Amino acid sequence: MPDPFADQPDWAPRPPRPLALVPAVTEAQLHGRRVLIGLPGTGWRGELRSDNKIVQNSRTYVPVLPEQEWYRAEAEQVEVFAPLVPIDRVWVERPDETQTAPTRDDVLSRLVSLDAPTSRFPTPAVDAGPLTGRRLVQMKDGQERRDLRAVTELHTGTDGDIVLRAMPEVDWYRWIWTGRPPESVEIPVHLVWVE
């Protein structure tokens, strides 16, 4: 199979892996994992984190929290209420090297099945539209750095490069519950993708 990145310039990193969505029942550890919940044919809700499975009355459930509450519980070591979702309604995000991005030339090529949530393919930040608040992946020395949030749009950086500012997701959410803006870092646009 030919390398799809063979013609890529040396200065441009390979894109991050896409995110496959797999049934939670197939995953051993769920604590802190990013999940979607929903029903086939109905729809999906994301921006959630899970805790490990629990069994009640012979049914398996997954405690699921909005990301903001999960980060607060972890960072501040506080108890928060987590609704229990039947495990068959929970799907876990997992980076997947086996998938290739579909070519989308028209609306028909974008149609999906409603049986399960669809995989997510990273979009280069330069092509992703408005960025502030969106989930990012930074490629640095061939490694993916996930769980980042954009805090600015594209702009000219201190040394003249096109950049955006980002921060770890925990700091993004801490900003909400403390009201104090945390430090952010400048990242060159060619190293950033939107999840």
Q: At what angle do helices 67-76 and 169-178 cross, to 10 degrees?
A: 80
Per-residue pLDDT, 162: 97
Residue whose structure tokens are 């799907």: 91
Domain boundary among 47, 79, 95: 95
Domain-embedded: residue 33: yes
pLDDT at 89 over 70: yes
Structure token digits, residue 35: 């999940």
Residues 89 and 139 in one domain: no
Domain-embedded: residue 3: no
Domain-embedded: residue 71: yes
Residue 171 to residue 158: CA distance in whole angstroms: 23
Largest pairwise CA distance in the chain: 61
Q: Which range of residues forms the domain containing residue 161?
A: 122-194
| Strand 185-188 to 123-124 pairing | unpaired
Domain-embedded: residue 140: yes
Residues 149 and 91 in one domain: no
Mean pLDDT of 152-181: 95
pLDDT at 33 over 80: yes
Residues 76 and 134 in one domain: no
Q: Are 65 and 46 in contact (CB under 8 A)?
A: no
Residue 137 to residue 47: CA distance in whole angstroms: 15
Domain-embedded: residue 136: yes
Q: Global pTM?
A: 0.87
Q: What is the DSSP secondary structure assignment for residue 41, as one 8-state letter?
A: T
Per-residue pLDDT, 1: 44
Structural domains in the chain (count): 2
Of 112 and 193, the one with more pLDDT? 193
Sequence-ordered list of residues with C-beta below 8 angstroms from that of 104, at least 6 positions apart, any chain: 110
Torsion of CA 135, 185, 11, 1, to 10 degrees: -30
Structure token digits, residue 172: 């993004």
User: Chain-wide mean pLDDT for the chain?
Assistant: 91
In 3D, which of 191, 3, 179, 29 has the Cα closest to residue 94? 29
Residues 138 and 75 in one domain: no
Of the pLDDT bands very low, low, confident and very high (cuts 50, 70, 90), residue 108 is: confident
pLDDT at 10 over 70: no
Domain-embedded: residue 27: yes
Residues 79 and 137 in one domain: no
Which residues sit opposite 176 in a β-bridge?
Answer: none
In 3D, which of 175, 177, 83, 87 has the Cα closest to residue 132? 175
Domain-embedded: residue 157: yes
Per-residue pLDDT, 2: 45
Lowest mean pLDDT among 49-53, 70-74, 99-103: 99-103
In 3D, which of 5, 11, 29 has the Cα closest to residue 100? 5
Of the pLDDT bands very low, low, confident and very high (cuts 50, 70, 90), residue 4 is: very low
Residue whose structure tokens are 């310039």: 9
Of 113 and 125, the one with more pLDDT? 125
